[in-house]
Amino acid sequence: MSDMEGKLILFRSEEYDNFLGNMDLQWFAAEDEGRTEDPTEQKKKKAREDGKVAKTAELTASLVMLFPLITIGILAGYMITQFAQMINFFITNSTSIDIISSRLPFTAFVSYFLKLTMPIMAISFISAFMGNVLQVGFRITPKAIKPDFKKIKPDIINWAKKSMFSLEAVFNFLKSILKIIIIGSVAYTDIRKNGPQLANLSNIPLGESFSFVASIAFILAVKAALILMSLSLPDYLFQRKQHLDSLKMTKHEVKEEHKQSEGDPLIKSRLRQRMQEILTANMIQNVPEADVVVTNPTHFAVAMEWNNETMVAPTVTAKGQDNIAFRIRDVATEHGVPIVENKPLARGLYATVEIGEMIPEEYWDIVSRVLAEVYRINGKLSDEL
């Protein structure tokens, strides 16, 4: 062996080792590493809009096989008649029609072809449509049929990983073996059961032989379709699990999506602060119209208004804590609104009554006494209570 050949063998050996090393690291690595969170409803909705849904091809294939077979069984007499008429037409007119200049042969062929195939094609289309609708519902997703030139670029590594070195590849391989075993066993049993009749076909008329073989083939095809349909349920459950696993998200993705859907917490905090400022400004405008302000005396302040002609009970028109409470007291003092110190009442009204709401019945007695004292001091008539 020459030095050149030795170096070439060594190079190929190293290249092979590198290939195996890369395959071990990339192909058999955990898929979607770090994607531990279940997909959110928004992620599922976006995937559906992109045409990515969980479905099994087994159900659609079984329906496309079963219902056209049933259609053939129902229309067998009609189809045989049409086929015989077509053969008879072409044989009868084979010597009298100019096939070069006449359009009759083509027109006749199209007519008979449509009569024979249209029922089967229509049922096949409806079966395929229903097979998909039953699994994912009816929804038009233009993105699923939008051309994507990135898919044209071959990716041998990912193709090999998905086709040969993945859980889905193993499942599909075992499923195919199972289908072959089950359908082969059923076919073997049926053919063996009819073995004597099949061996005696040469002794019976051609028409009866054809009908007998056709009936066996038809029954086997129907059984195969039913077997495929029964296998579609576990396949759908597996495809659904694979689909959900493919949509799993990282914790960072969940947080980002939450920010997008709910809003950035910092922005929301600023908005709440701004809304509170607006509410406070509007609330402060109601303080001059209040009949009394009840305080804690420093931490809470609640302004109330009472009009026996329009209100069932006194209504809270403003309330606040700490700085807002100071602001309410200042405005009340500026506009001559009475301020009454009552710690339990101020705390209770602040905690249980919102702005614009009437005070609860349990506070009527104490509030009426507070208002009576205020009216007495201000010289108002007590019959307003």
Mean pLDDT of the chain: 78
Higher pLDDT, 247 or 188: 188
Q: Is 315 exposed, middle or buried (0-12, 13-18, 19+ CB in 10 A)?
A: buried
> Is residue 46 in some structural domain?
no
Statement: residue 15 has pLDDT above 60: no
pLDDT category at 307 given cuts 50, 70, 90 is confident
> Is residue 328 in some structural domain?
yes
pLDDT of residue 185: 92
Could you say which of 246, 261, 293 is where a domain stops?
246
> Is residue 312 in some structural domain?
yes
pLDDT category at 157 given cuts 50, 70, 90 is low
Longest dimension (CA), the chain: 127
pLDDT of residue 181: 93
Could you say which of 246, 277, 310 is where a domain stops?
246
* Domain identity same for 235 and 122: yes
Return the beta strands (E) in the chain as ranges.
292-295, 300-305, 315-321, 339-341
pLDDT of residue 125: 93
Could you say which of 246, 270, 300 is where a domain stops?
246
* Domain identity same for 201 and 337: no
* Domain identity same for 132 and 226: yes
Nearest to 124 by CA among 54, 60, 57: 60
- Cβ(316)–Cβ(286) under 8 Å? no
pLDDT of residue 145: 61
Statement: residue 17 has pLDDT above 70: no
> Is residue 29 in some structural domain?
no
- Strands of the sheet containing 339-341, edge to edge, are 315-321, 300-305, 292-295, 339-341
Q: What is the pLDDT of residues 214-230, one digit of tens each?
A: 888 989 999 999 998 88
pLDDT of residue 10: 44
336 Rama sector, left if φ>0, alpha if ψ -120 to 50, beta otherwise: left
- Least confident segment among 23-32, 80-89, 117-126: 23-32
Q: What is the pLDDT of residues 133-151, one digit of tens each?
A: 888 777 666 665 666 666 5
pLDDT of residue 377: 76
Q: Determine the average pLDDT of the residues in 241-270.
A: 73
* Domain identity same for 155 and 210: yes
- Cβ(188)–Cβ(216) under 8 Å? no
- Least confident segment among 21-35, 70-84, 260-274: 21-35
Statement: residue 23 has pLDDT above 80: no
* Domain identity same for 239 and 289: no
Give the pTM. Answer: 0.49
- Cβ(202)–Cβ(213) under 8 Å? no
> 126 is in which domain, residue-wise?
53-246
* Domain identity same for 241 and 338: no
Q: What is the pLDDT of residues 173-186, one digit of tens each?
A: 888 899 899 999 99
Query: Distance between CA 154 and CA 159 in Å, rounded?
Result: 8
What share of the chain has pLDDT > 70, as a percent?
77
> Is residue 17 in some structural domain?
no
* Domain identity same for 204 and 116: yes
> Is residue 251 in some structural domain?
no
Q: What CATH number does the domain containing 367 carry?
A: 3.40.1690.10
* Domain identity same for 221 and 119: yes
Statement: residue 14 has pLDDT above 60: no
pLDDT of residue 13: 46
Structural domains counted in the chain: 2
* Domain identity same for 298 and 202: no
- Cβ(297)–Cβ(309) under 8 Å? no
Q: What secondary structure does DSSP assign to 101-141, as a single string?
A: T-SHHHHHHHHHHHHHHHHHHHHHHHHHHHHHHHHH-S---
> Is residue 183 in some structural domain?
yes
Q: Determine the average pLDDT of the residues in 291-313.
A: 85
* Domain identity same for 98 and 175: yes
* Domain identity same for 126 and 215: yes
Q: Looking up tokens 């928004």, which residue turns up? A: 42
What share of the chain has pLDDT > 90, as a percent?
6
> Is residue 258 in some structural domain?
no
Higher pLDDT, 35 or 124: 124
* Domain identity same for 59 and 176: yes
pLDDT category at 163 given cuts 50, 70, 90 is low
Nearest to 346 by CA among 291, 304, 285: 304
Nearest to 355 by CA among 320, 318, 312, 306: 318
